[in-house]
Amino acid sequence: MRQLIIIGSGPAGYTAAIYAARANFAPLLIASSVEAGGELMNTTEVENFPGFPEGIMGPDLMDKMRDQAIRFGTEVLLDDVTSVDFRSDIKKISTGSSGDFEAQAVIFATGSAYRKLGIPDEDRLSGHGVSWCATCDGFFFRQKTIAVVGGGDSAMEEATFLTKFADKVFVIHRKDKLRASKIMQDRAMANEKIEFIWNSAVTGISGADALTGVTLTSTVTGDTSELALDGLFIAIGNDPRTHLVHGQIDLTPEGTIAVSGRSSRTNLAGIFAAGDVIDPTYRQAVTAAASGTVAALDAEHFLSALADAHK
């Protein structure tokens, strides 16, 4: 049995691993088979992570975090957790192809998943003109006309990035005001290739084998219109990835894992949570990393008390 297993390989998971490994707990970090590195793997330049005044590419930042965790003795497993049983003192974790693991303590840092519009044909045309990742798919839209849905920082970042490829990028937002930070708004608004479509919801997606356009519904008048497009990038936020622990760990009304005060302690002894999976508000790489630190220190406390009790 392991002392500590960390599930998740974003800034929260890796930072927890760095701290726990330096405290000699030799943690196992289960990083997922295809999405190792978390959300920053789909980002371009990260300009607001302290210590990188020139900025750093998201994947490079995650590689550095992983290497730092390994340097101090973290074992990184590229596999998917398929189920967990956290209800007894021995925590059980099953994986897709590496078998089952047991631990005295677990840090759950599974992050969040892209939100969908929830309209017909969204899934069918995913990968055929509908995308959630500009850095992954932008290249396919050279000299095309595309749209980004959303009014937050992600939408601004994706729209600005996509102007490297596309001739025209619409930003479709359901309100007349953006949620994005001022610097990201200003950058998008100053870009000649970007045009904003305000007070509009995407209510339909058309295309037989590939996307050809969308139906827009005015959120003010209810009128509908058609917009011809080659690509649609959906950037409307994320939902915490909690499906593995439904029915085991208490959640908040926002759907994040509930933790006690400023700690990482969940309602189950020995189970700690960190990063976007507990944070409906800030959701920054830096805050996730800080949250991973809290979880590692809480887990260290718990494991030390456990060791003392068995002396």
Q: Which residues are catalytic?
A: 133, 136-137
Strand residue runs (E) in the chain: 2-7, 28-30, 45-46, 56-57, 75-77, 81-85, 91-95, 100-108, 112-114, 130-131, 145-149, 168-172, 194-197, 200-206, 213-218, 224-228, 231-234, 238-240, 271-273
Distances in whole angstroms, Cα of residue 179 to Cα of each of 34, 189, 287: 31, 14, 19
| Binding window for ligand NDP (CB under 6 A); candidates: 12-20, 131-139, 173-181, 204-212 | 173-181
| 97 to 116: interface string for ligand NDP, x by CB under 6 A | ------------------x-
* Interface residue with ligand NDP, options 80, 237, 244, 293 (CB under 6 A): 237
| 30 to 59: interface string for ligand NDP, x by CB under 6 A | ------------------x-----------
- Minimal CB distance residue for ligand NDP: 152
| Binding window for ligand NDP (CB under 6 A); candidates: 66-74, 87-95, 172-180, 257-265 | 172-180
Q: Is residue 111 within 8 Å of residue 38, measured between CB atoms?
A: yes
Distances in whole angstroms, Cα of residue 53 to Cα of each of 45, 46, 47, 48, 296: 12, 10, 7, 8, 27
| 125 to 164: interface string for ligand NDP, x by CB under 6 A | ------------------------xxxxxxx-x-------
In this structure, the strands spanning 231-234 and 130-131 are: parallel
- Number of residues assigned to the chain: 311
* Interface residue with ligand NDP, options 31, 40, 214, 236 (CB under 6 A): 236
Q: CB of 236: closest distance to ligand NDP in angstroms?
A: 4
Structure tokens belonging to residue 168? 């025209």
* Interface residue with ligand NDP, options 174, 187, 193, 301 (CB under 6 A): 174
Taking the least distance from each CB to ligand NDP, the nearer of 174 and 193 is 174
**Residues in touch with ligand NDP (CB under 6 A):** 48, 115, 117, 149-155, 157, 174-175, 179, 201, 235-238, 283
